[in-house]
Amino acid sequence: MLTKAVRFLLLTEGFAVATFAVGWWGVAVLALFWALVTESIRRPVRFATICAAAGWGSLLLLDAVRGPIGELASRFGGVMGVPPVALIAITLIFPALLAWSAASIGLALRRMIPRSRGERADAAVEPVPSGSGGGVAIADV
Amino acid sequence: MRTGIAAILLAALLFAGFRPVGKLPAIGALLDPASGVWATARTANLPPIDRGSIPGLGKPVQVLFDDRGVPHIFAATEEDAYRALGYVTARDRLFQMELQTRAARGRLTEWVGPRALEADRRTRRLGLAWGAERKYAAYDRNSAGFRAIVAYSEGVNAWIDGMRPRDLPMEFRLLGVTPDKWEPMYSLYFFSKMALTLAFNDATYSRLAAQAKVGRAAADALFPVNSPIQEPIQPNGLGAPRYDVAAIPPPGAPDSAAVLAFVARRNALAAVGDSKPNANGDALGSNNWAVAPKRTAAGHALLAGDPHLDLTLPSIWYEMHIVVPGRLDVAGVGFPGVPGVIIGFNRDVAWTFTNTSSDVNDFYAETVDDTLHPSRYKVDGTWHDLEKRVEPYRNRAGGLIHTDTLYFTRRGPMTRELGKWVSMRWTAFEPSSEQDNFLKLGYASNVSQWLDAMNGFVAPTQNGLVADRSGNIAIRSTGRYPVRPGDGRGDVIRDGSVSASDWLGYLPPSRYPFAMNPAQGYLASANQQPVDPRVNASYMGSDWYSPWRAMRINTLLRGDSAVTPDAMRKFQTDPGSARADAFVPEFLAAAAREDSAGRADATLHESARLLAEWDRRYTKENRRAALFEKAMEELNNRTWDELLDGAGSDTSARPPRMPEAQVLLELMRDPTSKWWDDRRTPAVVETRDAILTASLRAALVASRKAYGDPSGDGWLWSNVRQANIYHLAHIPALSALHLPVQGGPSTLSPSGGLGTQGPSWRMVVELGPEVRAWATYPGGQSGNPASPRYKDRLGLWLNGQLAPVLFPKTPRDLDHKRVTSTLTLEPR
């Protein structure tokens, strides 16, 4: 089994690659797909939300390594009438919201799809490890 | 519940991501860090090693970028060089190229919708696109100029076609548009735009506006054909300014016939916009001067170029160096969108230009067959078909938002003003090949060859200054000067129904203002009247720019018999003012006379004392230039109150232009002229001294109100007058605003009005055994606002400094430590 950290890295990079490959809306597509298929992680919506923001954050980091992102943020923020930091925050919040909304819908769809073994979709969840406060992972918030 | 919220949110995000909302562009593509606006950071710095390809390229081209961002293009043929130039210019300045072309074509609505409609309509009505397309159709397909614009377009398109998403400039993203394919004709659109800036003479407008209010005799004197102060471009041998003072007739009865002409010109001028601001010639204009070896410290000819244009970010200029071994080796600046160097130097010759500001456009009242929808116009009793052109205006989605039908006579575009049709003939519409002229300059090896290369140049008329390594210097006001019938003047509206009103031809080049190796050992131009009318009385224009800058540079050059390149540089930002030298004594003398007559009060005493403290230099740290400028403003409004709208009651509404300050100085010789009388005080008849002292008093009151205590920093010139360099789309965050500069109205580095015009390129060239050059412009080579090359030259420019220009003969000659990027372009 992949550790949670590895999953985090994979999904984060998945969002980055999806953005590279198809564009910004690739975030929504991947989040939806992720929520539909994942069974092995608790709170998949929250997980996708964080990974999407981290994915775009890693792309921003890549831009920063290869160019004057601070200067650009200052100029771009001036054009948009918002502080540079706020602009960066918006850039991270935007994919996060995309991922949250798409993953939430994906999760809801998964609940409605009967499992092949005849189980109810909303029962097909991984037990929450002891000490985590109980409940089931699918009850994402 | 949560799923519902998520669905609504997702829909909203997708909508805002894909589509613009209000003024916001589609935020998805904008914020995308892989290919959106953030990714442009990755293109801010040039890659150390880069490759590209261009269809049609004959052989590989090597382009080395130095640490000033200047491309040194080494190509096997000229056409390959221009392909490479198109490629690298598009890489640095694509948005600028496209915006300028759209503005000249009147197609901004396709970017920003109806808010640009009126601007587009005015542009098209002026016939800018029509003129450019006629020129293009007539252009010799085999000429070097035509081949150059075609090759240039291939380079631009190679860049556009090969652009990665991150290469799309920020401005395109903010507007939500993409660049068009670049057509060769676009280079000619740019020339049309420059013709509008430089060759659209508004003398007729100024004079007719005055004539409508004070009659023709007075108007002729206020906007004279000949400048009352003569220090012409073609030296007249006097070695000093000559004052041709004439009596100015008193204000006469209004001339209602002039109103039509006034309106026609006003509407036409609206299209010129910021390039013809509501400012007198004191605050505008270009300079150039050259010094012969006998008056330079090193014994080599020196040349200074200092063209003044709109200050924008990115700059109107793009610096380049083009080498085609054995054929061409030229450096300098050109316009993004046009191939080649316009102002610059090669291994033997250096050159630069100022605008001649001659009168090369005339208006004709036409007789048409139908007032509302004409199809024919009459000349000498015969009806001729009008050329019609239906102009659709579209929005970004391609939807039609307006349609105009434009009419053209054989003279040019025709517009309807106050129910009458007026056509315009303009040399800028004539078939011409300026592109060829500019390209040929790079091949000249001496002054004579350079002058030959400028033969046939049509518009805009330019004072071309040239110096060579043999020590020759020359200047010629080159371009097509129409010869009119009758009195020959062009500042009237003529009867279009008779061919006798048409131009008779053009002034022969032998009559152009010209000087070569004059005895005085130097040559200078600053947009002043080019030739002394006592030497050459040909009508070339009227209402010339004020002569103050010309007087100042001639004074400086007369006073230095061992000029160095550094002195040339310092002259470019010299803070002295011939205008202040002329008017400050007038104010102080009037104050003294009023004091002697017992009419001075405490305000006048203080105002005169403060003005007397001024050394008449517009340095950033002086605190008295502000008072003088307020006094001049008051003096203008009080003296020329008869010209103001709202006759005699409202001095805030100014006509398009007041008479130039040299006319005001002329009036000083008549202390009791009726022009001095202020109509707001009907019980009193004011004299010159009364107006001068009233202006001085009012200036102190106004200055205290605006700037505070005279000893405070509010009076610092650096706080009063600043340069404002706006981004081309007028986005403040991408602009450089409120920049303190040395210089004021009428100094060699003039600043006035909104501070949006000024020295667009400063260059000094020494024509020694090896040509050396120093230069800068306000801005930087890159159009990417995030790039360190976006405005890296601003500091130098603000401080009046210049950077040495690298001029390597081969790629190996360029110090590798100063090479920041190497681009290899290969045939595709």
A56 to B33: CB separation less than 8 angstroms, yes or no: yes
Helical (H) or strand (E) element with A52: helix A44-66
Q: Which residue of B has its CA nearest to A80?
A: B24
Minimal CA separation from A21 to chain B, in Å: 9
Cα–Cα–Cα angle for B650, B653, B654, rounded to 5 degrees: 120
| Residues of chain B with C-beta less than 8 angstroms from the C-beta of A16 | 34
- Decide if B634 is inside a domain: yes
- Number of folded domains that form chain B: 1
The whole-angstrom separation of Cα A59 and Cα A55 is 6
**How is residue B54 annotated by DSSP?**
E
What pLDDT does residue B278 have?
A: 40
With an 8 Å Cβ cutoff, the interface of chain B facing chain A consists of: 2-3, 5-7, 9-10, 13-14, 17-18, 27-29, 31-45, 170, 174, 731-734, 785-788
A34 at interface of B, judged by CB pairs closer than 8 A: no
Q: Which residue of B has its CA nearest to A69?
A: B41
A126 at interface of B, judged by CB pairs closer than 8 A: no
What is the dihedral angle through the alpha carbons of B403, B408, B413, B415, rounded to the nearest 10 degrees? -60
**Which residue is it, tokens 């008329």?**
B461
What pLDDT does residue B644 have?
A: 81
What pLDDT does residue B797 have?
A: 97
pLDDT < 50 positions in chain B:
271-279, 647-655
- Show the domain range for B666: 578-616+619-720
User: Mean pLDDT, chain B, as a whole number?
Assistant: 93
Residue A141 has pLDDT above 50, yes or no: no
- Number of folded domains that form chain A: 1
B38 to A60: CB separation less than 8 angstroms, yes or no: yes
Residue A129 has pLDDT above 60, yes or no: no
| Residues of chain A with C-beta less than 8 angstroms from the C-beta of B37 | 72, 76
Token couple for B499: 């061919």
B28 to A56: CB separation less than 8 angstroms, yes or no: no
What pLDDT does residue B206 have?
A: 77
A12 at interface of B, judged by CB pairs closer than 8 A: no
| Overall average pLDDT of the A114-124 stretch | 49
Interface test with A, best of B30, B31, B731 (most A CBs within 10 A): B31
- Decide if B633 is inside a domain: yes
Q: Which of residues 77-96 of A touch B (CB under 8 A)?
A: 77-79, 90-91, 94
A69 to B41: CB separation less than 8 angstroms, yes or no: yes
Interface test with B, best of A63, A105, A140 (most B CBs within 10 A): A63
| Residues of chain A with C-beta less than 8 angstroms from the C-beta of B732 | 78
B34 to A16: CB separation less than 8 angstroms, yes or no: yes
B55 upstream amide cis, omega within 30 of 0: no
- Decide if B261 is inside a domain: no
What pLDDT does residue A115 have?
A: 59
Minimal CA separation from A5 to chain B, in Å: 23
Q: Which residue of A has its CA nearest to B166?
A: A63
Minimal CA separation from A15 to chain B, in Å: 11
Which segments of B566-645 are extended strands (E)?
none
Total residues found in chain B within this entry: 828
Residue A138 has pLDDT above 90, yes or no: no
- Decide if A69 is inside a domain: yes
Interface test with A, best of B8, B18, B32, B164 (most A CBs within 10 A): B32
Q: Which residues are bridge partners to B475 per DSSP?
A: B465, B515
What pLDDT does residue B771 have?
A: 98
Minimal CA separation from B37 to chain A, in Å: 8
Out of A24, A69, A100, closest to residue B31 by CB: A24
Residue A134 has pLDDT above 70, yes or no: no
The whole-angstrom separation of Cα B285 and Cα B747 is 10
**B527-550 in b/e burial notation, b at 16+ Cβ within 10 A?**
bbbbbbbeebeebbbbbbbbbbbb
The whole-angstrom separation of Cα B628 and Cα B611 is 7
- Decide if B798 is inside a domain: no
| Residues of chain A with C-beta less than 8 angstroms from the C-beta of B39 | 63
**pTM given for the model:** 0.92
For A2, other C-beta atoms within 10 Å of its C-beta total 11
CA B358 vs CA B194, B370, B487, B531: distances in Å: 15, 34, 16, 12
Out of B14, B37, B41, closest to residue A68 by CB: B41
- Decide if B658 is inside a domain: yes
A102 at interface of B, judged by CB pairs closer than 8 A: yes
Minimal CA separation from A37 to chain B, in Å: 17
The whole-angstrom separation of Cα B560 and Cα B760 is 26
- Decide if A42 is inside a domain: yes
A105 to B787: CB separation less than 8 angstroms, yes or no: no
Out of A63, A104, A108, closest to residue B41 by CB: A63
B39 to A63: CB separation less than 8 angstroms, yes or no: yes
- Decide if B336 is inside a domain: no
Q: What is the pLDDT of residues B781-808, one digit of tens each?
A: 999 999 999 999 999 999 999 999 999 9
| Residues of chain A with C-beta less than 8 angstroms from the C-beta of B169 | none
- Show the domain range for A13: 4-114
- Decide if A18 is inside a domain: yes
A24 at interface of B, judged by CB pairs closer than 8 A: yes
Q: Which residue of A has its CA nearest to B787?
A: A68
Minimal CA separation from A99 to chain B, in Å: 9
| Residues of chain B with C-beta less than 8 angstroms from the C-beta of A64 | 41
| Overall average pLDDT of the A4-18 stretch | 94
| Residues of chain A with C-beta less than 8 angstroms from the C-beta of B174 | 79
| Residues of chain A with C-beta less than 8 angstroms from the C-beta of B34 | 16, 19-20, 23, 59
